[in-house]
Structure 1
Amino acid sequence: MKAKISSLIMKLFGWKYIGDIPTVKKAVIIAVPHTSNLDFVWGKLAFVSYNVQTTILMKKEMFVFPLKYLLKSWGAIPVNRSQKESMTDQLAEEFSRRDSLYLSIAPEGTRRHRSEWKRGFYYIALKANVPIYLGEINYQDKTITCGTAFYPTGDVEKDMQKIKSNYIHSKPKHADKFSAGIKDN
């Protein structure tokens, strides 16, 4: 029932999911570009419409009454960004404990313009030995895709350039707030 309702909402607003859903049981899915709170809504609706449960990280300040109950039901995990604990190690361990886990992360880490992306998503995937799916939200065409699987090699600089190059021509909701962080952008 949730899948049908989610699919209907997307259709009513002109959005569609294109491409395949991951066939692996565990993956990090990056959501790029991230310039609006609506990115989460459209991404979540897209996955729910295919009965795919995703888990996301969200700053703890968003978990206020009554929103916190909705966010938790949608698989959101509150993150205290001021703590220096290794979230990367904790999440890599979470992958080993579960039979299935799709962790969706916005590597920009904010909705504001940022030329450098956070690399936690990369290290989580590397430590958990899972692929990174290069998801994209395209506001021009109103499409969402999970993208292709990228397997980290351990050469973070080279891998980040390859990953970012997929987003040079992205169409975010707010173009002035997005940068793939490479020279062609």
Structure 2
Amino acid sequence: MPPPPSLPALPPGLHQARGWFWRAFGHAYLRVGGWRFEGAFPEEPRFVAIVAPHTSNWDFTLGVAAVWALGLRVSWLGKHTLFKAPFKGFLERLGGIPVNRRAPHGVVEGCIRAFEAAPALMLALAPEGTRKGVSQWKTGFYRIAVEAGVPIFPIGFDFRTHAIRLMPVFHPSGSLEADLPRLQALFREVHGLRERPGKVPA
């Protein structure tokens, strides 16, 4: 069995106490799968984390295991259809926020208000927005970061090397056209569980 992964330190205010079972479960999942962390979390206590590529439901399982192992407090957006009994309470305790993709108005503004009210907040988003191949990223994450005045933290789940890559924090310039290609290029060598022809070019 691979050695236990070394866990990076968390930003101030983002630790969440969990029972020993959940910490042990997350740690065991990472260890059995041979997963390791590369890099470090930003020192800033408030940021938008973008996680890519998103090619499988196993991405969510891996993310939950990592969050449990770290004792990390994180918020994320999910399809509102997932937040139904008997899973609604469980997903909300994981930090999930239901979003109706057919009525997205107010979602970005709500996230901005959440940053303004919180001294520490990690909002994790999948910029591809779907497991299917896409030619363009959704850019709501960028607007949230710019208008809330917080940096962007790129995280890659590399299934080829079994590395959770914590990349250097990215401070947006305010120019989406200039920054988006630079952000996408960071994921050029990050391989999802399923490679696909529709992968966003970097």
What is the TM-score when the length of structure 1 is the normalising length?
Answer: 0.92
Name the aligned partner's letter for residue 19 of structure 1: G
Residue in 2 that maps onto 1:44 = 64
2:155 is the counterpart of 1:135: yes
RMSD: 1.5
**Larger RCO, structures 1/2 (Cα 8 Å, 6+ apart):** 1
* Alpha-carbon displacement from aligned partner over 1:44-79 (angstroms, at most 9, x marks no partner): 221332221111100111122222222111111110
CA distance in 1, matches of 2:59, 2:50: 12
Is this contact kept in 2: 1:19–1:145, CA < 8 A? Answer: yes
2:183 is the counterpart of 1:163: yes
2:108 is the counterpart of 1:105: no
Is this contact kept in 2: 1:35–1:177, CA < 8 A? Answer: no
Per-residue deviation, 1:84: 4.2
Is this contact kept in 1: 2:116–2:148, CA < 8 A? Answer: yes
Per-residue deviation, 1:101: 0.6
Unaligned 5+ runs, structure 1 = none
Residue in 1 that maps onto 2:107 = 87
2:35 is the counterpart of 1:15: yes
CA distance in 2, matches of 1:49, 1:37: 19
Q: Identity of aligned pairs, percent?
A: 30
Q: Which stretches of structure 1, 4 residues or longer, exceed 6 Å deviation after superposition?
A: none
Residue in 2 that maps onto 1:56 = 76
Count of residue pairs brought into register by the alignment: 182
Secondary structure of 1:152's match?
Answer: coil
